Structure 1
Amino acid sequence: MSVVKYPLAACIARPPDSTGRYYPLEEHLLYVARAMGSPDGAYDDRLRFLAGLLHDAGKAQPEWQDYIRRPAEARGPGVPHAFAGAMLFAVALERLLAAWPLSRREKERLLHLGLYLVYFIYQHHDTVPDVQGEFPPWQASFSPEKLLNCDLEGLGELVGRFFSGRLIPDGGMAVEELREDFRRLAGSWSGWRDRMLTHVARTQREGNMYTQSSRLCVWHNLENYRLVAGDRLHAAGLELDAQEGTISTSQAASALMRINDFCEGRRDGLRHQGASDALLEKREACRLEALALFREQGQTHRVFTLELPTGYGKTLTSLSVALEAIATGLSRRIIYVAPYISILSQAAAEIAAATGLEVVTHHHLSPLEKPAREEVREEDQEGLEVDSWLAPIIATTYNKFFQALFPGRAQHTLRLGGLRNAFVIIDEPQTVAATSWPVFLAMASALSEEVDCRLLFSTATMPEVAGGTLSVRRASLGCQAPLFSRYQVKYMGQLDEAGLAEQAVATYHERGSVAVIMNTIKDAANVYNLVEERLRGEPIYFISGRLTPLHKQGRIAAIKRVLDEHKRAMVICTQILEAGVDLSFQVVFRALPIVPSVIQAAGRCNRHGEGSPGDLYLFSFLRGGSEDTRRFVYRDHVQREVTDMILLGGSGSFPETRAGKVVTSFYHECSRRNTYEASLENLKLAAGGQWSGLANIDPFGDDIPSCGIFVPREERDVPEHVIRAMAECHVSHPQELWDLYVSRGFLRSLGFTARKRFMALMYQFMVQVPLRVAAEIGEPIAGRALLRLRYPSMYRENTGLSFVGDEEAYDEQLV
């Protein structure tokens, strides 16, 4: 019998907890195996079980055991371990496929599963891998000899409890046997890959190519999820199917009754402020109609649309439908998805107030929103509950939702468990880039089928979901026309900065509340300066993505207070106010964008029908009188051309009652001119193993390389959760926060959750800028990813960092 330093029975899977309890490796392997499959099930389940049983076999290495037994501060760099499980599973896979009585097609199907499991084990703490290549993934990095220090006899005995035959080489001949196994695997690998691709191609031919490909991609991600979830959640002491993270049918029924009371109170409050009675009653009628339609179609459909004019109560209507789904047993949790944190924060607060249920937010700033808790281990339970969406109501961003559909890292697949039997409200889907929309729709639809979740797309400007290359079966819960026109869209022609400033100031003096929405940060900042010169002493507000989150949040709250008090206000901004922000102006000036943005901007105009109709003045903006800057933000030339055809070719002026027809014409013509089929081609490739073409796809189009600039600026009216987080760090000023960040050893001293909370606090004082601008204004620190603003005076009280850098095309898209 070979002598090993750590027999399997003595190996641990992670450090002891604060009570001194150890976590045996064998116990962990068995848990993950049972979470993935069954040794007595179908061949697929047996392979999954075996993959779980071997996934962390590399933790039996003496180097890894020595590493994990050291104090945390003395461990240093990690010791690779995932390779060993992948190598041993591949050896066992080859032997099982030879031993099992399989037809050719059955063997191809199991090779498909087995190869994916090999790669998923190999990178279960890393990126989601491409499953391709002429040789195994370990070929150039790890040799069979690396396995010999593990207790192969112990691992073989563990596997032998569930599988007949000798699947793990051990004993005196193990090294020669393993060398021969891996020589044979290297020679067979390309043949295995070809047979896997044969199975994929056959599956793709069984229906619509793109629908089948998206189903294969979702299937692959779910296989990865089984492994990752079993591994991570066991380490955190969580169950894969925990019921405490759900809403019961009785809770949903009670919340629905509470929403009825909430809506009645909201109507009374708005009526007191002068809102139209007819409009308030129409909102409630839309909500009740959507509920009735869902009761008819909820059992037979998984994808739904809700098309209501802006300001007609989409959030509460969607929430009511979601609770109805839970009350009738169709769903068990709610996931609300919004494009921007500003919308998300507002909607999360409204959902909590309307239902009385806790809403857990999940975005890069959300770790601050709960008080700190004592940390007992690196695999933090509370952090994983949020990352896994194991909560009754999750409010998250498009970026996080896209990571669930198009995971770049293994950890991102954890959210697939939270999506099972969930009701997902996808707010303002028109913000998804045209190039990302088809593949997003395909993957979301496939996911709804595979995990039995329901999707509700809610907007005033719904992109097409039926027809063309990819058609998704969906049910409408309402496509309402406006009761009357709260606004009139009027095209003004061309304007430059000075002409726009003159028009806006004159209108402000006449009408009182005015918003000017520009396409780029630079244009908004230049117009702000000109308006400020003409309205000195008046309440003028500027908002763009070049303000820190704290500064932006305070600015929006200040605008809302002024408008709620029916006072005069002038706001100059980018399109950051267009979707979901509950602000209402008498007049909105909008630099020509694309049609959906026109309608969304109009939704900030006379939102509650108070008095006479408002006006949205649309104009073609020319920077300096000559440069059309719209293309910097709206890069799809088809959408720009169709917008110009519709708005400048005859429909430039129209009432709200015609807005729906304008939007329908826009999307129909865009689809006719460009089906964006090229983006769907990546689905076909990803289904065949080239996942990197889809991984980390950006919801808003091509991701613009950017960098965070820390602004050590003290804010007024700081939210309580930020004050609390700063107190936990024993700092009172942002500069002290930066000093902690750059101090040697500080970040390394923090546990998993404490580090996330600290970085979320840092982000409250940060502005994202393009890399070229960051190089100009940022001060780098060795070993740190963030930059500090070189000169604090660069950040202006009114406009933040909107004037820094000589911006080029596409730099200006960070609105």
Structure 2
Amino acid sequence: MLTPIAHTPADGCSPPHLLDEHLRKVGELAASFAAPAWADWARQAGRWHDLGKYDPAFQDYIRRDSGYEAHLLDGQPSHPSHSLAGAQHALLTQPKFGRLLAYLIAGHHTGLPDGPAEYQGAASLSHRLAQGPQALADALRADIPADLLAATPLTLNPQAIGGKDGLHLWLRLVFSCLVDADFLDSEAYFQPEQAQQRRPPPDLADLRARLDAYLADKHAHAAPSAVNSVRADVLRQCREQAQQPPGCYTLTVPTGGGKTLSSLAFALEHALAHGKRRVIYAIPYTSIIEQTAEVFRAALGDDAVLEHHSSLDVEHETVHSRLAAENWDASVIVTTNVQLFESLFAARTSRCRKLHRLVDSVIVLDEAQLLPIPYLQPLLDALRLLTEHYGVTLLLCTATQPALHTRSNSFGHIQLRGLDARRAIIQREAQLYQQLARVRLHLPADLDARQSWADIARQISQHPSVLVIVNTRQHCRELHALLPEGTFHLSALMCAEHRSQQIADIRQRLARGESVRVVSTTLIEAGVDVDFPVVFRALAGLDSIAQAAGRCNREGRLPHGDVHVFVPPDPSPLGWQRAAEEAARTVLGQCGADALAPDAMQRYFNHYYGKAGQAGFDREGLHALLTQHAGQGEIFFRTAAERMRLIDNAHTVAVIVPYTRQDGEHRRDSHALRRRLQAGEMHRDLLRQLQRFTVSLPQSQFEWLRRAGELEEIYRDIWWVKNDVMYDEKRGLLVREIEAANPE
């Protein structure tokens, strides 16, 4: 009888990957990734995940269809399943915990399934396990080594994982260990050269030394000023508080107070003091990520920072960073909120693969006030589980700390389970606010009286250098048309490559002391480092107004900057934005020019959460899907993953726009990239480069362009804007402004 194999080589010549060897290696590798308390679970899952490959029929199939794809196509039409035998074996030999192991084994290629068949039908674990007895019987026709079939006694302390409410996250973490081990062992066979390029990330002690040297040099060359004195004090407090026990911390520093590097110093100091393995920095917008990653690279070195987001400029990507992005095997990771939070609720193997790297880490949530209200409860629940059970220290970093404590209604019923055990790093936040107060806030006489764009444009035009921030793309387009020639326009109707160029041009002109007028959507206000003497902000949430104020007199070079709040012709879009505007109107009316003070901000968030929370902090019912029947081993993994969409891609379509950027001798041209794709070139690097030239449109706008004949499908579901005149070098994609079907 032929020796059972796990994989056969694509070239048909190399020795096959032996199945016994693969199962043992994956088991041990998965166990090494897991915490000691659940290493046996990961090892057991690893040893049983491919038991179905012992089936003689599968051995015939895999010898016929060689290569990695044959390994991945588990259970798809015309491809036999190899995961159900191990899942069935778990049910039979682990009567108490077999169903939990079955989730991991059955989903190790196709993703974690729903337990019940209610939403996913044939894809559910219950439906698939109906085929399990036959699959196991077929596998047992082979002579499987007894040690591989042996069942290790498993234990599970419910209190250690947060009870039944924490079971779904714990299973994802064990699943992460399994799929990462399976990927890595398969890679070592199919792509040994690539596997050898993986290398250990830099040591955290070395990174702290680099940061210390960078900050010392920065301090030595900083001009004496009140702002720099405050920044030095913030850094000192962060370093001191880093010695405190792990848990949940807040860093509330007004914009311009140096919280980016100070929070990094806290994270590295705390990680070294308490044996944490890595620092993960999650940021809401890609424009801030690119800026933050550049700051961190300058401080720590290019080899130290993994930048992981969809709009990554491939110039910053190396072979090592690309490999590390697959499983976050890095020391410092800068990523998006979307990447982090959707992974915490993911079912797909590629998304879950990195999750075990969260254990014993420091997670910094930058701009924490932007946590999405419709998903706030499941997000806070997951963050609490990480801090209480998985050695995570969480740092909520913002200029406007949200009120994330537990909230109850007037009847005493809990509306929001918050993060109550938080430690403030800055001891005298109100005093710090006074020290960094660099602007005067100007409010309209009547916060209910709407102004026309023509009146607003006349006020703005009186200022030679001014930043204007509005609430929607349409408002940005309308106001820009009324402002003097040469005014910059920034919105998400411009591709990332175009926006980056515009922001760089704006900074250069400001640095030269030139007059600069900019009208922008909210993409500029949260963390983008620009400094204007005057800022105009359309009425919005008070946290947004405070962020806009952070772009005014940022370095404190003027006695004061001026921030003007105006009431635009139209209200904010329905949903959380409208609730934020209404809460801000209330607090602005009560506090006037002092509305940016910490106590006023807390009052605002209480109003805001009261209004926004009326629609619920768990709009998609994720908590019930993941916990309601978890005590019986029934969890809706896949349905919850489909409903956790911080960006609603179901109602938007990305299109590639015709844009060329000439940067010195370096030319970036979407036309050239499009031609390569149409010529048959299809690989990850090309798609990443094309991502920099995309604009996301509401479904209604996409359909209008498609019907008008302005779009061409250049590859399956990849759309190109055919006419160059549809993309303006100042304003981006020119589309008819049609309100999206789902304005929220």
TM-score (norm 2): 0.84
Q: 1:56 to 1:640 in 2, by over 3 A?
A: same
Residue of structure 1 aligned with 2:677, choices 733, 741, 744? 741
Q: Does structure 2 retain, via aligned residues, the 8 Å contact 1:83–1:138?
A: no
Q: Does structure 2 retain, via aligned residues, the 8 Å contact 1:256–1:324?
A: no
SS at 1:646's partner residue? helix
SS at 1:457's partner residue? strand
Residue of structure 2 aligned with 1:798, choices 709, 725, 730? 730
Give the match for residue 598 of structure 2. 660
Give the match for residue 752 of structure 1. none
Give the match for residue 630 of structure 1. 572
Return the alpha-carbon distance in structure 1 between the equivalents of residues 125 and 509 of structure 2.
Answer: 64
Return the alpha-carbon distance in structure 2 between the equivalents of residues 652 and 67 of structure 1.
Answer: 72
Residue of structure 2 aligned with 1:260, choices 198, 215, 240? 215
Return the alpha-carbon distance in structure 1 between the equivalents of residues 368 and 37 of structure 2.
Answer: 41
Shift of 1:775: 2.1
Q: Does structure 1 retain, via aligned residues, the 8 Å contact 2:443–2:593?
A: yes
Return the alpha-carbon distance in structure 2 between the equivalents of residues 774 and 610 of structure 1.
Answer: 45
Shift of 1:760: 0.4
Return the alpha-carbon distance in structure 2 between the equivalents of residues 491 and 29 of structure 1.
Answer: 67
Written as runs of structure 1 = structure 2, the 5 A alignment for 1:608-757 is 608-622=555-569, 628-632=570-574, 635=576, 637-647=578-588, 649-654=589-594, 658-672=596-610, 674=613, 676=616, 678-679=618-619, 682-687=622-627, 688=630, 689-692=635-638, 694-695=640-641, 700=646, 705-717=651-663, 733-743=669-679, 746-747=681-682, 755-757=683-685
SS at 2:587's partner residue? helix
SS at 2:591's partner residue? coil
Q: Does structure 1 retain, via aligned residues, the 8 Å contact 2:52–2:86?
A: no
Residue of structure 2 aligned with 1:477, choices 425, 449, 460? 425
Give the match for residue 364 of structure 2. 425
Q: Does structure 1 retain, via aligned residues, the 8 Å contact 2:488–2:502?
A: yes
Give the match for residue 513 of structure 1. 465
Residue of structure 1 aligned with 2:205, choices 234, 239, 250? 250
The one-character-per-residue Cα deviations of 1:129-152 (angstroms, maximum 9, x if unpaired) are 222248854549958666676573
The one-character-per-residue Cα deviations of 1:614-636 (angstroms, maximum 9, x if unpaired) are 111111111xxxxx24125x635
Amino acid at match of 2:461: V
Amino acid at match of 2:511: D
The one-character-per-residue Cα deviations of 1:564-593 (angstroms, maximum 9, x if unpaired) are 111100001101101110101111111111
The one-character-per-residue Cα deviations of 1:337-360 (angstroms, maximum 9, x if unpaired) are 111111111111111212336212
1:358 equivalenced with 2:290 (yes/no): no
SS at 1:546's partner residue? coil
Written as runs of structure 1 = structure 2, the 5 A alignment for 1:268-283 is 268=223, 277-283=225-231
Give the match for residue 699 of structure 2. 771
Q: Does structure 2 retain, via aligned residues, the 8 Å contact 1:252–1:326?
A: no
Moved more, 45-54 or 558-567: 45-54
1:496 equivalenced with 2:452 (yes/no): yes
Unaligned runs of 5+ in 2: 119-123, 408-413
Give the match for residue 84 of structure 2. 87
Shift of 1:328: 2.4
Shift of 1:308: 0.2
Q: Does structure 1 retain, via aligned residues, the 8 Å contact 2:657–2:727?
A: yes
Give the match for residue 152 of structure 1. 141
Shift of 1:604: 0.5
Amino acid at match of 2:605: Y
The one-character-per-residue Cα deviations of 1:143-180 (angstroms, maximum 9, x if unpaired) are 866667657323365635x4599xxxxxxxxxxxxxxx
Give the match for residue 26 of structure 1. 20
Return the alpha-carbon distance in structure 2 between the equivalents of residues 244 and 214 of structure 1.
Answer: 36
Q: 1:47 to 1:342 in 2, by over 3 A?
A: closer
Shift of 1:597: 0.5
1:126 equivalenced with 2:110 (yes/no): yes
Q: Does structure 2 retain, via aligned residues, the 8 Å contact 1:279–1:609?
A: yes
The one-character-per-residue Cα deviations of 1:207-264 (angstroms, maximum 9, x if unpaired) are 9xx9655522321211211221221122234999x99544435314412421432431
Give the match for residue 241 of structure 2. 293
Return the alpha-carbon distance in structure 2 between the equivalents of residues 551 and 518 of structure 1.
Answer: 19
Q: Does structure 2 retain, via aligned residues, the 8 Å contact 1:389–1:417?
A: no
Give the match for residue 256 of structure 2. 311
Return the alpha-carbon distance in structure 1 between the equivalents of residues 222 and 36 of structure 2.
Answer: 57
Q: Does structure 2 retain, via aligned residues, the 8 Å contact 1:86–1:119?
A: no
Give the match for residue 600 of structure 1. 547
Shift of 1:304: 1.0
Residue of structure 1 aligned with 2:341, choices 402, 409, 413? 402
Q: Does structure 2 retain, via aligned residues, the 8 Å contact 1:435–1:701?
A: no
Give the match for residue 174 of structure 2. 223
Structure index of larger Rg: 1
Written as runs of structure 1 = structure 2, the 5 A alignment for 1:578-593 is 578-593=525-540
Aligned length: 698
User: Taking every aligned residue pair, what percent have the same amino acid on both sides?
Assistant: 24
Shift of 1:543: 0.5
Shift of 1:363: 0.9
SS at 2:732's partner residue? coil
Shift of 1:412: 1.3
Give the match for residue 178 of structure 1. none
